[in-house]
Structure 1
Amino acid sequence: MSDMSYSDSDGDSSWSAVGLSDPKNGQYRDRRALLDTVNQLHSCGLNKRLDLPQIAVVGSQSVGKSSLIEAMSGITLPRSSGTCTRCPIECRLSKVDAPWKCEVFVRFEDARGEIRFGEPISDHTLVEDRIRRAQIAVLNPSSDPLSFLESTSLENNELSFSDNIVSVRISGAEVDDLSFVDLPGIIAAVRAGGNESDVDQVKNLVRKVIARDSCLILLVVSCDTDLENQGARSLAKQVDPNGRRTIPVLTKPDRIERGTHAGWMKLLENREERFRHPWHCVKQPNQMQLESGISHREARKSENDFFANTEPWSTLDVEIRSRLGTSALTEALGTILFDLICKTLPGIIHEVEKRLRETKDALSKLPQKIEGNPVSIVMQLLEDFKKDVSSLIDGNADAGANGLIQSFRCAKDRFRQEIFDQAPNFKPYGRSKTATRVVHDHVDASIENAEDTEPLEPTRRKDQGRVFYLEDVRKMANEAMTRELPQNFPYAIKIFYIKQSTSEWKTPMENLFKSAETMFEDKVRGLVHHHFSRFSAGSFNTEMMRLVRAHLRACSERTHQRIHEMLKLEQEEPFTVNEHYLSDYKVKYKARYERMCNPEPISSSIPASHPTPPATVVASDWASRSSATSRMHLTQAITSLTAAGLPTLTEDELVKRVRASPVSTPEGLVEIMAEVRAYYQVAFKRFVDYISMIIDYELLKQFSRTLHVAIATGIKIGEDGFKERCISLLVDDPTIVRKRDGLMQDLEVFSTAYINLQSVVTTSTMDYEDEEMEGMSS
């Protein structure tokens, strides 16, 4: 394709205002504002996240696409061997009451975003070189793009083609209002030494842009090549099979061979290759005109003269002739683009509103940017942390089962049960009687449970092997006797059983301590992370984590020492001043053991779902609840007693006397069992209370009470250089900074776009019904 350069030798580069920029159009102001808003969304790269309306110029290589772009924009595009456009070139034309100006930007898909590429240009002749250098900058993404503004080495690019964009923005009093993007021309093959993958890369680049529903496809078709051989046509049909978004335009009509116009006329007459938007046709200056320095005005006059005076163009219907020429095409493009924007505006507003809401939500989840006096900020952060620690230790009902105090309560319950399960398991009868006592023991346990809210014996012992039978206690007592009188057993027997029963308290105690320590450390570390993790780059998080660990370790050591002191007190020797408490339990256990000593209790045949009532009550109530079998046995017993010469008794009198008769028990041994078991009950309750209280007081509450001292010492509050230290602590995590800055940029973009979109008045001039056009090509 030959070079093209329009001169302004006639001193007037203006041409008639068309499209969106026609001041006579009553919708001009609304159109201008709407187009500016959509352009702004493109500038911010939102076209990657939103389906924004745009016109994409598509054509095969050497179809005159660049010449058409130059005719519409009034600038000269760079030319190179093989292909002209190696990346998308966005053209934004804006009519303003100001001198002509051109600005060039490069827009990257990565975090760099859009970058101004040099100062504004006021000289038309400098635009081509600036665009060429900008295109080289996007083809070398690893280099500083601004370095190519003055670079003399512009060869050996990293990439053959790029998805990154060169944005050219032209404004002036004589400039049309229109925006479009020129895409690289479709190539069928590469030159010798070229990269074969370039063919597919260009197709994929073009396809990705034009596949979006809101992209209008300006399909450029050259009249000097068969329609079927132009690859851009087939690519457009792939993404727009119904032709609803395609605007077809013919170029180089002066190259049509004599006698072959009929086929091209069928396109303009909409008899073949029908699209929703009808075919246009343009003619650009030929090589001779370019070399003569033709101006823009002269080029448009020459084009109009060609269509007005050359057959068959001059003989076409008026409607078809209205679609001939660059001005007619530009005007049609402006209207179609505006109407597409109007059609898609509600969806764009909805999507922008959604993104704006999502951006605000994402920002609300990030820490706010630190602003203000660094000392005050540090002190406030520390105060907030201490409050949360205090709240954690006080307990929070909303925390549920995962709360610290709730979890500690469960751990205390397990600890209490483990200590209770280690109670000495006395059996006041011989091993040979074990089988006959199981049911009786169960009955007694239920009776005792009804008498006292605290079970007298564990219901799920873990150590069934630690059982002390009557002969075990008798043997121990006899072997331990020294100078005692008969039936007086040494006090050391009781000491022995008490110490043996408390000897394994350490393990449950340690388990409770470790459980509380681990739970507390996890919760406190979570609070440190919550309050200070954002300052990882400034070591605030690390410093607080170190400080908290040291303080927790000191409290843990003190707590561990105190609970072991408590354990030593319990294991040193039996002691209590709660004599009435010990006496009450001794009476209960003695009564229980004495009942268990009775080898064949008559009451076993009598229902006993309640505590043993007085004998008179049992006697009167027995008759109504006893079974017929029990009555038969009692009758036989009374008969036997009478035959033996004893006074005749009634059934109730016999039951009453049996209940009231003393049980034959080894009094001294039962005394030992009852007192040891009673003391265990006293000591166990005292121990589980105090161990729990010590852990709560020394580990949890003491940590909170002395936290301010530990922080002041560790952070060195008030010391020289504290302000500088605060500044160094308050360095945000770079990841958070980058994310927050990106979201803040998005917030500004979406907020501005939303406000602008809401304020734009739109009126569509076209009917966008969904029905397909009859006879439209598929």
Structure 2
Amino acid sequence: MYKKSRLRRLGTTSPLSPSQHFHSDDMRKAPPHTSVTSGRDGGSAGVGLSDKQYSAGRRKMLDLINRLHKTGVQKEIDLPVIAVIGSQSAGKSSLIESISGITLPRASGTCTRCPTECTLSFSAEPWRCVVSLRFTTNENGETIPVRNDPFGPPIFDKPDVEERLRRAQRAILNPSIHARDFLEGVDEDPVTRERTFSTNCVSLSISGPDVADLSFCDLPGLIATEGTGAMKGDIQLVKSLVASYIEKPSCIILLTVACETDFENQGAHQLAREYDPDGKRTIGVLTKPDRIPLGEEERWLRFIKNESEPLENGWFGVKQPDSRALAAGITWSEARELEREFFSSTSPWAGVDLQIQHHFGTANLTDRCSSILSGLIAKRLPEIQSELQDMLQKTENNLRQLPKPPSSDALGEVFNLLTQFSGSLAEYLEGTPEPDGLLQSIRPIKEVFRQDILATAPDFRPYGRLPLPNEPQDNRRFIAPEFLSHETVFVPSDDANAVYIDDVMERANQSITRQLPGYFPFVVVEQYIQDVIGTWEGPTRTLFDAVQHILIQKIKQFIEIHFEQYPLLQQRVAAIVTSYILECSDQTKSHLDWLLALEKRPRTLNEHYYRDYRDKFLAHYKGAARNMATRPCVSQIVQGFAGLGIYGINPVDLPKVLPTDPFEPAIDVMASVRAYFQVAYKRFTDNIPNAIDHDLILGLKRDHALEKALRKGLGIGGTDADVQCGEYIREPPNVLLKREELQKKRERLVSARKELMDLWL
């Protein structure tokens, strides 16, 4: 124990008069504390939350939260924790040393440049400290899955912690260099640092028989300006880092404010007030009270009295050893005695009420922290249990939604996948009931094709190109045949493609060779038919291209769904299937060309339908040529036949009994061509889609040809089939990473749930 004179020499700036002293008996005695870690001489303990007067229930809860932190579940659940914040040089590190006994690096220019998370836990085993590096970002600053890397073997000698921490922080600030280089290399800072600050953290796990159960984090001090050697954005980086901790509702904010600097110039308070506006979870700590400028003591005392910037948990004052005392090797116990001496003998602190004196000293601060932390834990435990259960259920659901892991039998897996794919594809090609299925998507373009072919019907007009004098305009309009009322009839929108009776007659006369008078060669009919058939190639190509496009797109979608779990296999199968479709396309197009060639020669065995259509068109054209469109005249003629005892005469039959028309040969040609079109277009609009369906669509499943092509293309029958298939079904990195993250998350949640369940047992 230091003598009174030595204590004053080490811890006070000037001797105090007797009137300035308060007897220690007037102060509330701090509760006895068991040792957390040694001071610099290795023989004294720090103040932790190991007060033997704590109830068993409180001790049990503190131990539970400590174990929950060990599971890593704080990534998902807001666990109670103490975060120490303040501006640079606000005395945070000294405060942590006084609370926990941990000796932090104190080399010249050294400051906290990354979070230092400390987990203290009671253990019957000898004292030990494990240091690890926790990375949440890579060297490029990109977010990565949390990685905890051990940094050296366990430490069993307390004085060795300081150097290990110093080396660990260097490793955090230089992420591109292997951490082992800093662990085993020379204990000195590199010429330049890759980072001035980092969100990655140094993690300490300390256990021993004299160690309390507590979790806290020392965060980098807030900076106001970017000084020499700083990097652009450091101010915001540190601010965001601190905010990421204190924004959580279960974070107790231990706000350190140095009395040697104007309160308004210390930004930590503004940040704490931003995330805790009511001051319900902030504990204010005034440090360096021995450096208050002369005459400003009362101003700082107003904080201790909770009159300035009031907080629900109040403000506390602490006094830590200065650099001279540290250099002299002051122990923790001596430092605490100096602290008590300072507040009991220095004005204005010594003159306050007894109740206010309870806000002086590390022991009182620690007692208050433990009380608040314990109360928060008691409040949060039921909520944590509910949150854990909900999050565990969501995690299980997310895992179930992932594809199943790849099989260890890669070759067999690929074989099974191809067999299942071929069977499912065969059903899909036959047709499925989905509104957007393959056949449903093709049906509309088949109807467009039919309409396009129907639109090529010859537009014969049974009257001359030039109108007769005083001829009504209605006589020259296109008249749809009544007998086609039950069929689809293309009605031209204009006369651009009209073929007039005199044009037909002219072509017929030009074709006469050795025929007898009144006869015309068949070539006239054949030429008109070939003119029409010649226009069918365009709609046919359009139909084929559209079907091919839809088929490829739909099959690709089908492949994506079937091989969704294996992107590499999916891509390879899609390429092989597309290539196979293109091969089938060449064969299909050849078949379509053959069908087009067949149509160029007029022929049909449907003579009945042809003759029926020819007779009806003949009557239609003759009637139109005679201008017999008015129903009154037609009715009179029909009634006249009835008066002669001739019944069953229809208007369409009247042209047959009318006198011969000089343009009758042309009308005969028109009727023949138009009748053949009706027969041929129906046949053609059936044959072309059927051929495409047979050769291109159903051809994909015929004789297992596609499955054989897939096996060949995938190299399944090769000597390295196992290796090749292993590559095909290798899980995508993003899925593998997601699975590992969810599994680790589930493990953390399950472990945390078990800890909670054990608490209630």
1:641 maps to what in 2?
none
Residues 319, 361 of structure 2: 8 Å contact kept: yes
2:131 corresponds to 1:104: yes
Deviation per CA, 1:106-140: give whole Å up to 9, x if none. 22232263322222222111111111111111111
**Change in 2 beyond 3 A, CA 1:300/1:581:** same
1:57 maps to what in 2?
84
CA distance in 2, matches of 1:441, 1:275: 99
2:370 maps to what in 1?
334
Percent sequence identity over aligned pairs:
37
Deviation at 1:72, TM superposition (A): 1.5
The one-letter code of the counterpart of 2:594 is E
2:393 corresponds to 1:383: no
2:707 maps to what in 1?
708
Give 3-state SS (helix, strand or coil) of 2:364's partner. Answer: helix
Residues 392, 749 of structure 2: 8 Å contact kept: yes
Q: How does 1:61-460 map to 2 (within 5 A)?
A: 61-110=88-137, 111=144, 113=146, 114-152=148-186, 153-156=188-191, 157-186=193-222, 202=238, 205-206=241-242, 209-210=245-246, 212-223=248-259, 227=263, 232-233=268-269, 236-237=272-273, 240-252=276-288, 262-285=298-321, 290=326, 293-297=329-333, 299-300=335-336, 303=339, 316-341=352-377, 343=379, 366-398=402-434, 400=435, 402-433=436-467, 439=474, 445=480, 447-450=482-485, 453-455=486-488, 457-460=489-492
Give 3-state SS (helix, strand or coil) of 1:26's partner. Answer: helix
2:19 maps to what in 1?
none
1:555 maps to what in 2?
584
CA distance in 1, matches of 2:482, 2:651: 21
Give the alignment's Cα RMSD to 1 decimal. 4.1
1:771 maps to what in 2?
none
CA distance in 2, matches of 1:656, 1:144: 103
2:517 corresponds to 1:489: no
The one-letter code of the counterpart of 1:723 is D
2:623 maps to what in 1?
595
Q: 2:675 aligns with which of 665, 674, 678?
A: 678
Deviation at 1:148, TM superposition (A): 1.3
2:725 maps to what in 1?
726
Residues 5, 293 of structure 1: 8 Å contact kept: no
CA distance in 1, matches of 2:297, 2:582: 95
Deviation at 1:742, TM superposition (A): 3.7
1:520 maps to what in 2?
551
Give 3-state SS (helix, strand or coil) of 2:252's partner. Answer: strand
Residues 597, 665 of structure 1: 8 Å contact kept: no
CA distance in 1, matches of 2:487, 2:145: 73
**Change in 2 beyond 3 A, CA 1:437/1:168:** farther
Deviation at 1:217, TM superposition (A): 2.2
Instruction: Compute the TM-score of the two structures, normalised by the length of structure 1.
Output: 0.79
2:509 corresponds to 1:478: yes
Deviation at 1:415, TM superposition (A): 1.1
Deviation at 1:350, TM superposition (A): 7.0
CA distance in 2, matches of 1:415, 1:159: 68
**Change in 2 beyond 3 A, CA 1:202/1:490:** closer
CA distance in 2, matches of 1:42, 1:378: 39
2:26 maps to what in 1?
none
Deviation per CA, 1:319-354: give whole Å up to 9, x if none. 334433323322221222243355566776777677
CA distance in 2, matches of 1:708, 1:245: 67
**Change in 2 beyond 3 A, CA 1:6/1:602:** closer
Give 3-state SS (helix, strand or coil) of 1:676's partner. Answer: helix
Give 3-state SS (helix, strand or coil) of 1:85's partner. Answer: coil
**Change in 2 beyond 3 A, CA 1:292/1:418:** closer
CA distance in 2, matches of 1:720, 1:16: 67
Deviation at 1:310, TM superposition (A): 7.4
Deviation per CA, 1:752-774: give whole Å up to 9, x if none. 55666688679xxxxxxxxxxxx
1:637 maps to what in 2?
none
CA distance in 2, matches of 1:500, 1:190: 86
**Change in 2 beyond 3 A, CA 1:618/1:395:** farther
Deviation at 1:147, TM superposition (A): 2.7
CA distance in 2, matches of 1:368, 1:617: 87
Residues 42, 159 of structure 2: 8 Å contact kept: no
**Change in 2 beyond 3 A, CA 1:278/1:486:** same
Give 3-state SS (helix, strand or coil) of 1:108's partner. Answer: strand
Deviation at 1:664, TM superposition (A): 3.5
The one-letter code of the counterpart of 1:159 is R
Deviation at 1:165, TM superposition (A): 1.4
CA distance in 2, matches of 1:337, 1:27: 10
CA distance in 2, matches of 1:657, 1:191: 107
**Change in 2 beyond 3 A, CA 1:178/1:508:** same
Give 3-state SS (helix, strand or coil) of 1:473's partner. Answer: helix
The one-letter code of the counterpart of 2:589 is H
Deviation at 1:69, TM superposition (A): 0.8
CA distance in 2, matches of 1:14, 1:497: 110
CA distance in 1, matches of 2:574, 2:652: 73
Deviation at 1:700, TM superposition (A): 0.3
The one-letter code of the counterpart of 2:165 is I
Residues 594, 665 of structure 1: 8 Å contact kept: no
The one-letter code of the counterpart of 1:6 is G
The one-letter code of the counterpart of 1:169 is S
CA distance in 1, matches of 2:408, 2:473: 77
CA distance in 2, matches of 1:86, 1:199: 12
2:537 maps to what in 1?
506
Q: Which runs of 5+ in 1 are unaligned?
A: 607-611, 620-648, 763-778
Q: Which moved more, 1:175-184 or 1:194-203?
A: 194-203
Instruction: Compute the TM-score of the two structures, normalised by the length of structure 2.
Output: 0.81
The one-letter code of the counterpart of 2:615 is V
**Change in 2 beyond 3 A, CA 1:320/1:554:** same
Residues 61, 83 of structure 1: 8 Å contact kept: no
1:544 maps to what in 2?
573
Aligned length: 709
**Change in 2 beyond 3 A, CA 1:85/1:508:** same
Residues 253, 283 of structure 1: 8 Å contact kept: yes
The one-letter code of the counterpart of 2:616 is K
CA distance in 1, matches of 2:739, 2:472: 75
**Change in 2 beyond 3 A, CA 1:615/1:740:** farther
**Change in 2 beyond 3 A, CA 1:22/1:142:** farther
1:627 maps to what in 2?
none
Deviation per CA, 1:624-674: give whole Å up to 9, x if none. xxxxxxxxxxxxxxxxxxxxxxxxx99xx9x99999683345344333222
CA distance in 1, matches of 2:650, 2:55: 123
Give 3-state SS (helix, strand or coil) of 2:487's partner. Answer: coil
Residues 284, 316 of structure 2: 8 Å contact kept: yes
Deviation per CA, 1:477-513: give whole Å up to 9, x if none. 2332334333333222222222222121111111111
